[in-house]
Amino acid sequence: MAKTKMKTNKAIAKRIKVTAGGKLRRRRPLAGHLKSRKSPKRVRNLRRTRSVSKGFGKQAKRMLGL
């Protein structure tokens, strides 16, 4: 009998992108709206993506089926 395939966690798939090298990238929190009260420096920094932490990276890869 065939094994059942593991489903991809769509919530994680929408939030995390996998680079060509296999690293996981995520967006910064608090970057969506209400930018007028944030300093320009802070808004610029919020544009950049961050790497996923090692601990959560392992879990995220499992959820993405990697």
Contacts of 26 (CB under 8 A, 6+ apart): 15, 16, 17, 49, 50, 51, 52
Render each residue's pLDDT in the chain as its tens digit; 66 residues: 788 888 999 999 999 999 999 999 999 999 999 999 999 999 999 999 999 999 999 999 999 988
Query: Using CA atoms, how far apart are residues 16 and 52, in angstroms rounded to an integer?
Result: 8
Query: Tokens at residue 59, please?
Result: 């879990």
The predicted pLDDT at position 3 comes to 85
Supply angle C-alpha 58, 5, 59, rounded to 5: 10
* pTM for the model: 0.75
Q: Helix (H) and strand (E) counts for the chain?
A: 3, 3
The predicted pLDDT at position 60 comes to 93
